[in-house]
């Protein structure tokens, strides 16, 4: 009878862009960490794990696999022999590496505010030879930054931490164990730098964002990392849009759409089509904008929701597409459709995505205001301030609220609700 492929292990390898040989090398290094002598696991053994032929590795290999991945051995698709359903705990002489605890915490807390409190980076395990475990450690740090972004939005501390991660990855180049590891380090540096750029975009520090994007694109090119390249072009489109450069924004969105990552991944394709739809709406091309929005919806319907994805794109899914559709519809003048899309987005957005929920809430208020319901619109904006309570408002949110207030003054200049709204919230427009 044919063995069943170990899909959880295959998914983990795919998520981290690792080959079986690199996993085996990392396992042997980890065995050396706790025994003092590198392991002798062969590449053939690694393929037997992947094919399902070997369903329960040796004890040292199991411990090493947990240390490398930060996951319980059974979560990697391995099945204990006999009736036991859970993997045995490591022996007392081999205490669990604190890095494993940290990685598991990150995995459990991704997208939650609690992840923000965890240190993003720790000392490399092999200062003289940078290998796969170091790559994984650095990549895991991205989850904490994604959580910090969704909780507080763009701010100086997020930018600083992202640049620190990029600097560490670049600094490891000279001691990389192989060319493949070197390219992965460049890819990680590109991701960290793109995160710094996004933080500046959200904070509306456009010149700094452009500098970071230029560097991120250079690093992504050296890494030959299609996903990182797509991410940079997507952010470049957002930056151009924020600056009011419609033509440049459309060109960047189309560049993201043409990347290998967008061709291979339905999730990436959907995101790039949605970004293109926004730029086309601002360019006044209604038919093309709606066509791109339809393509985004079609591509999203093809996404394998069980497949692992990089932490930076975890925000994108049906809820975010509804939010972006609201932007397109509002710009095209389809106000009732824009309001409905915002309601659908808010119903589906996770509660921990504070910044995204606050932005969508104000978009909802704008759609209501443009339909003549100033009182309801003002009431709706209360939710945005409540969502961001305790944190300074990110720059994009402040600008959106400022635009709302100006339109409120234009559409209902003498209304009591306008005066009350301005008096109540003017002090909350934090400048930082």
Query: How does residue 120 score in pLDDT terms, banded at 50, 70 and 90?
Result: very low
Q: Is residue 137 part of a domain?
A: no
Residue 341's pLDDT is what? 97
Distance CA(211)–CA(17), nearest Å, equals: 28
Q: Is residue 61 part of a domain?
A: yes
Contact 10, 27 (CB under 8 A): no
Question: What's the pTM?
Answer: 0.77
* Alpha-helix runs per DSSP H in 258-285: 260-264, 266-282
Least confident of 31-45, 159-173, 270-284, 320-334: 31-45
CA nearest neighbour of 300 among 334, 259, 270? 270
User: Token match 């104000």: residue?
Assistant: 362
- Does 93 score more than 80 pLDDT? no
Q: Which residue has the higher pLDDT, 429 or 82?
A: 82
Query: How does residue 180 score in pLDDT terms, banded at 50, 70 and 90?
Result: confident
Distance CA(316)–CA(320), nearest Å, equals: 5
Give the pLDDT confidence of 218-273 residue by residue, as tens digits: 999 999 999 999 999 999 999 999 999 999 999 999 999 999 999 999 999 999 99
Least confident of 275-289, 337-351, 417-431: 417-431
Number of domains in the chain: 1
Distant-in-sequence, close-in-space partners of 181: CB < 8 Å, separation ≥ 6: 130, 131, 132, 135
Q: Is residue 340 part of a domain?
A: no
Least confident of 296-305, 317-326, 416-425: 416-425
Query: Tokens for 155?
Result: 């701010």
Give the pLDDT confidence of 122-176 residue by residue, as tens digits: 444 445 578 788 888 898 888 889 988 988 889 999 999 999 999 999 999 888 8
Q: Is residue 57 part of a domain?
A: yes
- Does 121 score more than 70 pLDDT? no
Mean of the pLDDT values across residues 412-418? 87
Contact 239, 206 (CB under 8 A): yes
Q: Is residue 335 part of a domain?
A: no
Least confident of 70-84, 92-106, 158-172, 277-291: 92-106
Q: Is residue 196 part of a domain?
A: no
Q: Is residue 25 part of a domain?
A: yes
Domain assignment of residue 20, given as a range: 7-76
Q: Is residue 150 part of a domain?
A: no
CA nearest neighbour of 429 among 356, 364, 362, 353? 362
């Amino acid at each position: 009878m044919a063995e069943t492929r170990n899909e959880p292990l295959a998914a983990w390898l795919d998520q981290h862009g690792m080959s079986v040989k690199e996993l085996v090398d990392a396992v042997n290094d980890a065995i050396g960490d706790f025994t003092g002598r590198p392991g002798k696991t062969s590449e053939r053994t690694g393929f037997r794990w992947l094919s399902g032929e070997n369903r329960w590795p040796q004890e040292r290999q199991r411990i090493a696999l947990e240390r490398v991945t930060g996951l319980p051995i059974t979560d990697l698709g391995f099945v204990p022999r006999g009736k036991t359903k859970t993997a045995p705990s490591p022996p007392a002489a081999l205490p669990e590496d604190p890095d494993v605890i940290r990685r598991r915490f990150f995995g459990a807390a991704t997208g939650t505010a609690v992840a923000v409190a965890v240190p993003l980076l720790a000392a490399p395990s092999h200062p003289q030879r940078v290998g796969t475990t170091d790559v994984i450690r650095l990549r895991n740090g991205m989850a904490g930054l994604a959580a910090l972004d969704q909780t507080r939005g763009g701010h100086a501390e997020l930018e600083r931490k992202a640049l620190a991660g990029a600097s560490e990855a670049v600094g490891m180049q000279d001691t990389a164990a192989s060319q493949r590891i070197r390219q992965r380090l460049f890819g990680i540096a590109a991701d960290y730098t793109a995160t710094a750029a996004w933080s500046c975009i959200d904070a509306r520090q456009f010149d700094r964002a452009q500098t970071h994007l230029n560097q991120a694109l250079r690093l992504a090119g050296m890494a030959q990392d299609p996903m990182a390249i797509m991410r940079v072009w997507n952010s470049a489109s957002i930056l151009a849009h924020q600056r009011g450069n419609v033509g440049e924004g459309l060109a960047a969105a189309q560049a993201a759409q043409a990347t290998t990552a967008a061709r291979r991944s339905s999730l990436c394709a959907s995101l790039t089509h949605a970004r293109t739809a926004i730029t086309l709406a601002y360019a006044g091309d209604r038919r093309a904008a709606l066509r791109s929005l339809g393509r985004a919806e079609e591509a999203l319907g093809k996404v394998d929701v069980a497949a692992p994805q990089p932490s930076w794109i975890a925000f994108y899914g049906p809820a975010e597409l509804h939010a972006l559709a609201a932007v397109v519809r509002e710009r095209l003048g389809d106000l009732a459709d824009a309001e409905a899309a915002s309601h659908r987005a808010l119903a589906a957005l996770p509660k921990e995505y504070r910044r995204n929920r606050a932005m969508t809430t104000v978009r909802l208020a704008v759609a209501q205001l443009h339909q003549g319901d100033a009182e309801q619109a003002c009431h709706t904006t209360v939710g945005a301030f409540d969502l961001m309570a305790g944190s300074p408002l990110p720059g994009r949110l402040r600008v959106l609220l400022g635009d709302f207030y100006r339109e409120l003054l234009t559409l209902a200049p003498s209304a009591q609700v306008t005066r009350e709204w301005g008096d109540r919230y003017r002090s909350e427009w934090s400048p930082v």
